[in-house]
Copies of this chain bind each other. A is one copy, B any other.
Amino acid sequence: MQPRAHVTLEDVARAADVSLATASRALNGMRVTPQLRDRVLAAAEKLAYTPNAHARALAGASHRTVGVICHDVTDPYFAAIAGGVMRVAGANDLLVMLASTFRDPEREIAYVSMLRAERAPAILLIGSGFEDTRWERALEAELKPYLDGGGRVAVVSRHRSLKVDSVLPENKAGAAAMARALLDLGHRRFAVLSGPRALTTVADRLGGFRDELAKAGVTLDPADIVEAPFTRDGGYGAMSELLTRRSTATCVFALTDVMAIGACAALRDQGLSIPGDISVAGFDDIPIVRDLTPPLTTVALPLQRLGETAMELALTENNGRRRRLLRMGGEVVLRASTAKLV
């Protein structure tokens, strides 16, 4: 016998010989005579009934799937933050819909639109905004009606003009602190492995680093700044490029740990020792970096907490006033990948 495509509430009601309303109430735990309730539950069980979430959502029941949009789930930085988001979501009995844009602004907007269509109660944007006015406008155009409709939005990282709750990692101050720490170690000649200029995170970290160096009278040679994708291979390529340029830097600052890992691989492949020949520092403090050899000096961000906090912001009312959680992390963690210069 070919089973019906979908068992509906009506089937259950008929099997239990009650009305639709009673079946619905029994299934949702509202007041119903125990006898009837048992009949309904038994029928539902026997028919392997699953409510149609769409019908339910359409009929007004609030639903429990929040959307999280990040740049790349395979990047440990986002994975760690997503882990935090999911912890809090799980504790609140929420499903998480995780989407990966692969850093394509268009796709990011498409995802927001999709989530809006799904009437997700909350949308979390994890990851840097783009310094791109056209994109900002489009995103805002998408978000505005969503917010007006009662949707909740929270972002991790800076978005220039978004009027939403934000969790802001200490990118600028953290990079500045790193500059100071590296200067303290005696370094004077630096190279930076940078990411795409269009990301606000890049602007903040690079700016913070450069400005702090400038305060100490150290300037960053433009030839010592290499731009590459925010990936392991991006870091590898950028470091290789730097080596072919015969940079005289004694210390390389990678704007993310993931890039730093690639940089270390490139250096190893060239037979250079870290920190003997050159020091390497990163940013983020993703879990793996303490297991590297040498363990990586970096700027620590409480990644999991970033995610947890964002989710909490999205779950609590903000009464229309945007909240900004600043000063998340930013302490320099000196490990063995950076050496003191004598």
Is A251 located at the chain interface by the 8 A CB criterion?
Answer: no
Is A287 located at the chain interface by the 8 A CB criterion?
Answer: yes
Docked-complex contact B50 and A73, CB < 8 angstroms: no
Question: Binding site of A, secondary structure by majority: helix, strand, loop or mixed?
Answer: helix
Is A149 located at the chain interface by the 8 A CB criterion?
Answer: yes
Is A317 located at the chain interface by the 8 A CB criterion?
Answer: no
Docked-complex contact A53 and B118, CB < 8 angstroms: yes
The proximity string for A residues 155-173 relative to B, scoring 1 for CB distances below 8 Å and 0 otherwise, is: 0000000000000000000
Nearest B-chain residue to A83, judged by Cβ: B74
Docked-complex contact B51 and A117, CB < 8 angstroms: yes
Give the distance in Å from the alpha carbon of A145 to the alpha carbon of B5 in the complex.
8
Quick check: which of A54-62, A127-135, A174-182, A326-334 contacts chain B, the rest being far away? A54-62
The residue that A3 contacts in the complex, of B72, B95, B145, B292, with Cβ under 8 A, is: B145
Nearest CB of B to A126, in Å: 12
Docked-complex contact A232 and B5, CB < 8 angstroms: no
The proximity string for A residues 296-322 relative to B, scoring 1 for CB distances below 8 Å and 0 otherwise, is: 000000000000000000000000000
The proximity string for A residues 130-156 relative to B, scoring 1 for CB distances below 8 Å and 0 otherwise, is: 000000000001101100111000000
Docked-complex contact A113 and B50, CB < 8 angstroms: yes
Nearest CB of B to A53, in Å: 4
Question: With A5-B149, A55-B58, A117-B52 given, is the CB distance from A98 to B98 under 8 Å?
Answer: yes
Docked-complex contact B232 and A144, CB < 8 angstroms: no
The residue that A73 contacts in the complex, of B86, B144, B261, with Cβ under 8 A, is: B86
Docked-complex contact A261 and B119, CB < 8 angstroms: no
The residue that A291 contacts in the complex, of B5, B57, B119, B265, with Cβ under 8 A, is: B265
Nearest CB of B to A301, in Å: 15
Give the distance in Å from the alpha carbon of A316 to the alpha carbon of B118 in the complex.
26
Q: Given the complex, which residues of B lie within 8 Å of A100, measured CB to CB?
A: 83, 86, 96
Interface size on A, residues (CB 8 A): 59
Q: Given the complex, which residues of B lie within 8 Å of A5, measured CB to CB?
A: 148-150
Q: Given the complex, which residues of B lie within 8 Å of A95, measured CB to CB?
A: 99, 111, 114
Nearest CB of B to A104, in Å: 9
Question: With A97-B97, A292-B293 given, is the CB distance from A48 to B145 under 8 Å?
Answer: yes
Docked-complex contact A82 and B86, CB < 8 angstroms: no
Q: Given the complex, which residues of B lie within 8 Å of A117, measured CB to CB?
A: 50-53, 56
The proximity string for A residues 190-214 relative to B, scoring 1 for CB distances below 8 Å and 0 otherwise, is: 0000000000000000000000000
Is A79 located at the chain interface by the 8 A CB criterion?
Answer: yes
Is A229 located at the chain interface by the 8 A CB criterion?
Answer: no
Is A239 located at the chain interface by the 8 A CB criterion?
Answer: no
Give the distance in Å from the alpha carbon of A57 to the alpha carbon of B99 in the complex.
20
Q: Would you list 16 pairs from A and B whose C-beta atoms are within 8 A, ordered by A residue?
A: A3-B148, A5-B149, A6-B149, A48-B142, A53-B118, A54-B118, A58-B58, A73-B98, A74-B76, A74-B83, A76-B76, A76-B79, A79-B79, A83-B100, A95-B114, A293-B293
Q: Which 8 A-B pairs have the closest CB atoms?
A: A293-B293, A53-B117, A98-B98, A54-B54, A54-B57, A48-B145, A74-B83, A3-B148
